[in-house]
Amino acid sequence: MQKIIDGFLRFQKEVFPERSELFKKLADQQNPKVLFVTCSDSRVVPELLTQQEPGDLFVIRNAGNIVPSYGPEPGGVSATVEYAVSVLKVSDIVICGHSNCGAMAAISSCQCLDHLPAVAHWLRYADAAKAIVFAREHANQRARADDLVRENVVAQLANIRTHPAVALALAQHTLNLHGWVYDIENGLIEALDGESTKFVPLAENPAVSAT
């Protein structure tokens, strides 16, 4: 904790004064244009990856970058999606998976999660991706896990489309969806091309989207 406290004190003394005008503007309102859904993994930092300032991204983080399908008992993820689209009027939603994801590794290896019942229940929202991946042949376990990371992004994009606010915004052409996979080791991002349904390098295809 001391390292974290020291970091805050450095922020308060050195960083905050340099951006005081920005924080003054943000004190009473926010106007993010992008909802960024990604994993809770400590190695994935959305603002760092995209070089965005405070106030630029509305972020949801959870194990496996999962968005449950909309249902009669919507939870925190559903409420946050609804708020982002209906109130903040974001124009884009990014669902970003990442390499070496512990959640996807557990699913792809059929790891026993009896001692983690809440985790096991949560990861059932990736069942569609699991079914697709397990129907394919893979050279090894790592290849299967990597495949699942990508298919999970596709599955969560399908899930988020079931949310009424998202469905309406898509129908009105005021919202775009994006599926990304971040490679931690190489600092690269692959993006889902909605037309080809393939993941392509974002650096070479900056305009690509899932919609």
CA-closest candidate to residue 90, choices 178, 190, 155, 158: 178
User: What are the structure tokens assigned to 161, written together?
Assistant: 């489309």
Whether 41 sits among the annotated catalytic residues: the reply is yes
Whether 110 sits among the annotated catalytic residues: the reply is no
User: What are the structure tokens assigned to 198, written together?
Assistant: 């393939």
Whether 136 sits among the annotated catalytic residues: the reply is no
Which residue in the list 56, 61, 92, 98 is annotated as catalytic? 98
Which residue in the list 19, 43, 136, 142 is annotated as catalytic? 43
Rg (CA), the chain: 18
Whether 43 sits among the annotated catalytic residues: the reply is yes
Whether 19 sits among the annotated catalytic residues: the reply is no
Secondary structure tally for the chain: helices H, strands E = 10, 6
Which residue in the list 101, 146, 163, 178 is annotated as catalytic? 101
CA-closest candidate to residue 41, choices 60, 57, 64: 64
Which residues are catalytic, by number?
Answer: 39, 41, 43, 98, 101
